[in-house]
Structure 1
Amino acid sequence: MTESISDEFRRALATLCTDERARAAETGQDAPALWQAVDALGYTDALVAAAHGGAGLSLSDAGALANAAGYAGLPHPFGETVVARALIAQAGGSVDQGAIALARAQPAQDGVLVCREVSGARLARHVLVEADDEWLLMPCEAATTSAGRFRPHASASLRWASSDQAVFRCVRGAETAETLCSAVHAAAMAGAMERVLELTVLYAGDRRQFGKAIGQFQAVQQDLAVLAEQASSTATAARIGCAGGTPLPQPLLAAVAKLRACEAAAQVAAIAHAVHGAIGVTEEHMLGVFTARLHEWRAAPGTERACADTLGRAVLADGAASISRFVAAHLAPAPDTATA
């Protein structure tokens, strides 16, 4: 079921989110119209229970959809919107059809809410903010913003004068913004790496040097093999991060997925740009669009260091006789169940 759903979504995105339209939306051009077209497909309500008007799909289905969005180059916070709508619906709230980013509030004084480097915030209508023991749905138009480092026209740091500006609030359960972002970002990173691999293999087959395609040189073939290995392992890890038999990601599984994705992203981006050479950093080429997102997701909540710390603390607290026993006890996901 997961493959059929994601394949259908990929086919739809191939028509709606072409490279030219994705690049334009990345700079804010036509971004609302692109999101409206994607949202109209209905996949953004994948995790919302059927009782609340959603599709009631499983977390693994939602992960596959985030993967498809990453592959297509959709610049909006698609995966974040899917989990945010599920949380809001579960709490009895309702939202409009705009995109929703996810973030954790940083410590601040005088009731100010500050969220730094929020992926896709400039293309979203709201940000679902983790603030102590609450979820706050904050309108982006009410925030003071500054451009993000990796995607200045799509992402931003935001500041609200008060949590009273929230249009919806609810008590936060055990879930955290870091866990949610880790799972959906790992899935999107896997999709983006798949696309980077395709672009790199295509270029290596087309670019000729000394009378033959550079993909025929052993050194380049070695680089392509490593790139493929890293992309494949990330895809496997992303599926683990969205497994577990629960409606929302489990912290340890999400940490495993994001850690592997972060480790792979650095190698994937470096190898892809090395093979492409100077053309890979031009505005006309799509490679830079995908590698910029990979680096942004690496720096988003659930960083490589944070995920490693989460896993390390869990291992020490568990007291398992060996790492293999810890993995078997805590990192072997159970079958998924639908949320309907």
Structure 2
Amino acid sequence: MNDTLLDDFERPLRALCTDDTLRAVEGGAPADALWRAIDALGYTDALVAEAQGGAGLSLRELFALVFAAGRAGLGLPFGETAVARALLAAAGHGGRHGSGPVAIAPGALGGAGDGAIVCRDVPGGALAQQVLVSWQGEWLLLPRERATATPGAWRAQASATLRWQGAHLAVVRFDAGGADAVALCNALHAAGMAGAMDRVLELTGDYARDRKQFGRPIAQFQAVQQELSVLGEQAHSATLAARLGCSAAGVRPDPLLAATAKLRTCEAARSVCAIAHAVFGAIGITEEHVLGLYTRRLHEWRAAPGTETQCARLLGEALLGQTEGLFDFVRLRLSAPAFA
């Protein structure tokens, strides 16, 4: 199922997400036409139940699509939109999400005592039409245009920290039912990061085979081969971890598995970005080169909730809160569930 979904989605996505299109969106060009073309492919309703017009897929099956979106460099919140539509449809609000992209983020108090809701470092937040925010046991569907936006550090035209005056601005609100926005973001961001790192691995390998120094490709030098080997190891381990984070039969991931996936992909991203830029040299840090589109996304995902520190703390507290040893904790709580 994953291979079929990946092939059917990745081919048209690759044609839509050209280097020029990605650069234009990152630079502030309107992304409406790109989103309409992606939405028309039909995969944004993949998690919605069949009885409500969707495909009835699970988060485990969505992994392939989010991976493909990350690999294509798509800066719009595709995976978040698919999950948000499924949650809204299950709550009886299937027609309230509009036609634009929907971001997902945990909400926090603004700090000024005025009841404001703040979502920090939302990937694709500046491009989203609405944001599904977890807030005090509820989901709030908040219009992005009603928020005060602070540009993101890594992609100023695409991502943002968003602040709303209060929950009264929500166009839809419903019980969260135990759903965890941080866990959802961890699972989805890990899958997108794995896809982006797979693309960085391809770009770096191709460049090393083409770039010649002293009459032969730099990929033939042992030092470069060592770096490429480490890059490949990190990228592939991130893919395995991201699959684990999305291994859920429904829409909601296991918080511990999602945290494990995000922590591992964040750790891998540090090495992947450093090695890729070292192999490319000066050309890799220019605005014109596509590599920067991917490495900026990876660093942005690392900074988005939950961060490496938050994920490590969650896992550490879970380990210390049980009576079994480390081996049994990993074996019983950090292994993928079996599916029929």
TM bucket normalised to smaller: over 0.9
- The CA RMSD measured in Å over matched residues stands at 1.2
Q: Which residue in the other structure is 2:85 paired with? A: 85
Q: Is the 8 A contact 1:243 1:335 kept in 2?
A: no
Give the equivalent residue in structure 2 for 1:144: 148
Q: Determine which of 270, 276, 300 is the counterpart of 2:274.
A: 270
1:189 and 2:183 are equivalent in the alignment: no
2:137 is aligned, of 133, 137, 140, to 133
Match of residue 48 from structure 2? 48
Contact 1:227 1:267 in 2 (8 A): yes
Q: CA deviation at 1:88?
A: 1.0
Residue 116 in 1 paired to residue 120 in 2? yes
1:298 partnered with 2:302: yes
Over 3 Å counting, the alpha-carbon distance change for 1:23 and 1:242 in structure 2 is same
Moved more, 51-60 or 119-128: 51-60
The answer for unaligned runs of 5 or more in structure 1 is none
Superposed CA offset, 1:129-164 (max 9, x none): 111111111101111111100100000111111211
Identify which of 246, 249, 252 aligns with 2:256: 252
Are the equivalent residues in 2 in contact too, given 1:2–1:61 (CA < 8 A)?
Answer: yes
Q: Separation in 1 of the partners of 2:64 and 2:339?
A: 13
Name 1:103's counterpart in structure 2.
Answer: 105
Q: What are the superposed Cα offsets for residues 149-205 of structure 1, whole Å, 9 maximum, x if unpaired?
A: 010000011111121111111111222111000000000000000000001001111
Contact 1:194/1:231 (<8 A) preserved:
yes
Superposed counterparts of 1:170-209, under 5 Å: 170-209=174-213
In 2 relative to 1, CA 336–82 (structure 1 residues): closer, same or farther, beyond 3 Å?
Answer: farther
Paired AA for residue 102 in structure 2 = I
Give the whole-Å Cα distance in 1 for the aligned partners of 2:139 and 2:339: 25
Give 1:329's aligned residue.
332
Q: Please name the residue that 1:74 is paired with.
A: 74
1:316 has 2:316 as partner: no
Aligned length: 336
- Out of 228-237 and 82-91, give the one that drifted further: 82-91
Deviation at 1:28, TM superposition (A): 2.8
Q: 1-side partners of 2:339 and 2:294: how far apart?
A: 30
- Could you tell me how far apart the structure 1 residues matched to 2:93 and 2:287 are? 41
- SS across alignment from 2:109: coil
Q: Which moved more, 1:70-79 or 1:87-96?
A: 87-96
Name the amino acid aligned to 2:156.
P
Cα offset for 1:310?
0.9
| Kept in 2: contact 1:71–1:194 (CA 8 A) | yes
Offset, 1:27: 2.1
SS in 2 for 1:123: coil
Tell me, yes or no, if structure 1 residue 38 matches structure 2 residue 9: no
TM-score, length basis structure 2: 0.96
- 1:318 alignment partner, SS class: coil
2:29 and 2:50 mapped to 1: Cα distance? 34
CA shift, 1:336, in A, is: 4.7
Aligned equivalents of 1:173, 1:22: Cα separation in 2: 37
Distance 2:26 2:177 in 1: 33
Q: Pick from 219, 238, 244: which aligns with 1:240?
A: 244
Query: SS of the counterpart of 2:251?
Result: coil
1:19 aligned residue: 19
- CA separation in 2, counterparts of 1:244 and 1:129? 21
**Structure-1-length-normalised TM-score:** 0.96
Q: CA deviation at 1:67?
A: 0.2
For residues 52 and 310 of structure 1, the distance between their equivalents in structure 2, rounded to whole angstroms, comes to 35
Q: Deviations over 1:110-139 (max 9, x none)?
A: 221111111101111001111111111110
Counterpart for residue 229 of structure 1? 233
Q: 1:153 aligns with which of 119, 133, 157?
A: 157
2:339 & 2:29 partners in 1: Cα distance?
A: 38
Give distance in 2, aligned partners of 1:298 and 1:336.
Answer: 30
| 1:235-275 Cα shifts (integer Å, max 9, x gaps) | 00011101043331110110111010000000000000000
Consecutive unaligned residues in structure 2, runs of 5 or more: none
% identical equivalent positions:
57
The equivalent residue for 2:10 is 10
Q: Is the 8 A contact 2:58 2:248 kept in 1?
A: no
Instruction: In structure 1, give the amino acid aligned to 2:71.
Output: Y
